[in-house]
Homo-oligomer: A and B are copies of this chain.
């Protein structure tokens, strides 16, 4: 399909969802009613119920999302490289879809529409598995999508999985599924990573650090640490461990600890930092490799930049790490030597996000070191192929004592 055809498909899905918004709202009402009961029984949290809701404005956002993805450049068919190997023999490297992608996600049902849009825009088939709590909403959205696809003869290009057994079966389909993107908690993602031969794109953990260098601006240090820890503590890009240069500790920690505690943050600090505050817990080794996803922060002093870098490379998860310093050489050294997907200078770790980065759309955040890393946009759903157009050339003519040379002329 051309880009224009794919965009028309996204618009026809949008229109079909618009024409049937009551079906979406009704299905979601069923899920919400069931969730409220579980909430009352203490089996679900308020946060989960809130993420589940797909009513009113949030339904309109689905339409905007489809429009937004349609407006992106076609990730498929981009020429990445071209070279004339010889007269009448031209090589090009062109982006192409992966094939079939599977996305497994937790409660937010709008992911059904988001991932559908991204997968169709990148010419991939997709298998979706959403959270159990959103089962009615997910099914209603998927049915509407499949109805719109069927009008173009494409029914089945988006598949819905609804049971744990489906996921178990999926993990064994390495001959048919090209990429799995699990979005959810640590244990869930790790389970997927450890139980399939299919490439997995994502992150199990976001153990993000801020290092306050001794040349840090004090006001900036306070503001960045408070934001990174408290803006959205359950996000994967929230701060988990603060490293402070030993010489800076007495100047910044008393005020910083007070501010964090006033914001409800529990502090777990090493012995040497106990004098800088009150009501401080003692950090144990396990704290350095823990993603709290909560208002808890571990804090440790280091002797220099290299010790900070070593700590991060040893205990971090390669997600997002930031240095606060007014010394540009140290900033550059941190950005080069910290082996994480996102390395920041004088910025909150919370900026690590595909929409913030201007990627237009996000399929997930990857801590992998192959294929796609960091916030991943459409480029994570494509690969490339080499196309060679010749005119009957044979390899035998280009080897041996009378070998023809290759031109290797970039086009």
Task: Mark interface residues in A46-87 (1 if CB within 8 Å of B CB, else 0).
Answer: 000000000000000000000000000000000000010100
- Give the contacts of A192-207 with B (CB-CB under 8 A): 193-194, 197, 199, 201
**Does A395 contact B91, Cβ atoms closer than 8 Å?**
no
Once the chains bind, are B394 and A224 in contact (CB under 8 Å)?
A: yes
A284 within 8 A of B: no
Q: Does A390 contact B (CB under 8 A)?
A: yes
Cα–Cα distance between A242 and B191 once the two chains are bound (Å): 43
A347's contact among B89, B193, B227, B232, by CB below 8 Å, is which? B89
A117 within 8 A of partner (CB): no
Question: Chain B residues with Cβ under 8 A from A385's Cβ?
Answer: 335, 340-343, 373-374
A25 at the interface (CB under 8 A from B): no
Q: How far apart sit A358 and B357, CA to CA, in the bound complex (Å)?
A: 34
CB < 8 Å: which of B232, B341, B347, B384 contacts A373?
Answer: B384
Chain B residue with Cβ nearest A226: B394
A99 to B408, CA, bound (A): 31
A166 within 8 A of B: no
Instruction: Identify which of B98, B358, B389 contacts A331 (C-beta below 8 A).
Output: B389
Please, how many angstroms separate the alpha-carbon atoms of A373 and B383 in the complex? 8
Contact surface of A with B, Cβ cutoff 8 Å: 83, 85, 89, 91, 93, 96, 98-99, 178-179, 193-194, 197, 199, 201, 217, 219-220, 223-224, 226-228, 231-232, 331, 335-336, 339-348, 350-352, 356-358, 368-371, 373-375, 383-396, 398-399, 406, 408
Cross-chain pairs A/B with CB under 8 angstroms, 13 sampled: A83-B357, A85-B356, A89-B351, A199-B370, A220-B392, A345-B388, A347-B388, A347-B389, A347-B390, A347-B393, A348-B393, A350-B395, A374-B386
